[in-house]
Amino acid sequence: MKTIRKPATMTQAMVALRHAGASVGLAPTLGRLHEGHLSLIKKARRDNDTVVVSIFVNPLQFKAKAYKAYPRDLEADIKLLNSAGVDFLFAPGPEQMYPEGFDSRVEVIDLAGKLEGKSIRWHYRGVTTVVAKLFNIIRPDRAYFGRKDAHQLALIRKMVADLNFPVKIIAGPTIRARDGLAHSSRNTLLTPEERMAAAAIPKALLAIEPKARGGGDRTALTRELVTMLTAEPLIKVDFAAVVDAETLDPSVMGGNTLIHVAVFIGGKRLTDNRLVVSHGVDGSKPASR
């Protein structure tokens, strides 16, 4: 695997490959890789001649304290990427992505404000800005994102459609631990007690899922979800909603339904969701199965 730090070098390498007729798949990450990332990389490996993974802890999508605390382990990540058969690692520093005087942002305006987006619009602006930059630098044919971050996925799909990025967005299922907790780099920050408490998140989502499929009242289901989650003393619910999966609007009915939660456990923010489609769920499954 070749590691590249400079955006211009990365673009050069990708342009040369594409001239030679190779297809390129990109899995953008924040690093501290886990099974969720590996399942996206596996998918990318199957679909493309060349697989690129980016590792960049993007300062535009974090508050200063969370940016500093975000788990990083580049050495371990490189080992995993090598064994997953990745061809290129793009690992720029903030000074390469946002040089002095950087002054542009990419924002999906209405959709970013849905769910809890009103209070973290700045976060999603940071995500769409960095993903747009990664697409321009790497120019992938396909880009891979997890369904766990459903709002992020919807925003990236919309940005790609609205701004005509020539890239196909491919979503991978949420990969879960044995007790159902969705894999996330942030799980590594939980104490053993907090990690045990976190199992209440998938449990609550699973309990609501059949009721959502049955067309239950969304406001009542959201209330029930919050009640179930707050029964675990270490959980502080930041946001919960049952909404239409495409528009993220609770009043739109008839399509797929998204059950979404964001909670704090010991100050660490964890999110999870279940997508309820007419013929079943999104394929979320324990990693062990």
Cα–Cα distance for residue pair 163/97, rounded to 1 Å:
20
Given the residues 34, 37, 151, 260, select the one marked as catalytic.
Answer: 37
Told to check if 89 binds ligand PAF by CB under 6 A, we report no
For 202, the token pair is 């998938």
Q: Using CB under 6 A as the criterion, what x/- string covers residues 117-156 for binding ligand PAF? A: ----------x--xx-----------------x--x----
Is the CB of 86 or the CB of 127 nearer to ligand PAF?
Answer: 127
Q: Which stretch binds ligand PAF (CB under 6 A): 25-33, 104-112, 165-173, 264-272?
A: 25-33
Cα–Cα distance for residue pair 269/285, rounded to 1 Å:
22
Mark residue 38 as left, alpha or beta (left: phi above 0; alpha: psi -120 to 50; beta: remaining): alpha
Told to check if 77 binds ligand PAF by CB under 6 A, we report no
Minimum distance from residue 156 beta carbon to ligand PAF (Å): 7
Told to check if 108 binds ligand PAF by CB under 6 A, we report no
Cα–Cα distance for residue pair 240/200, rounded to 1 Å:
14
Is 37 noted as a catalytic residue in this protein? yes
Q: Are 19 and 60 in contact (CB under 8 A)?
A: no
Is the CB of 156 or the CB of 190 nearer to ligand PAF?
Answer: 156
- Give the relative orientation of helices 7-19 and 121-138 as an angle to the nearest 10 degrees: 50
For 228, the token pair is 């179930």
Among 7, 25, 28, 92, binds ligand PAF (CB under 6 A): 28
Q: Using CB under 6 A as the criterion, what x/- string covers residues 196-225 for binding ligand PAF? A: ------------------------------
Cα–Cα distance for residue pair 97/59, rounded to 1 Å:
10
Minimum distance from residue 146 beta carbon to ligand PAF (Å): 7
Told to check if 242 binds ligand PAF by CB under 6 A, we report no
Tally of CB atoms within 10 A around 22 = 14
Minimum distance from residue 33 beta carbon to ligand PAF (Å): 10
Q: Using CB under 6 A as the criterion, what x/- string covers residues 149-188 for binding ligand PAF? A: x--x------------------------------------
Size of the site for ligand PAF (CB under 6 A): 10
Angle at 168 between CA 134 and CA 20, to 5 degrees: 75
Q: Which stretch binds ligand PAF (CB under 6 A): 5-13, 14-22, 27-35, 252-260?
A: 27-35
Is the CB of 70 or the CB of 239 nearer to ligand PAF?
Answer: 70
Among 39, 48, 50, 58, binds ligand PAF (CB under 6 A): 58
For ligand PAF, the binding residues (CB under 6 A) are 28-30, 58, 61, 127, 130-131, 149, 152
Active site residues: 37
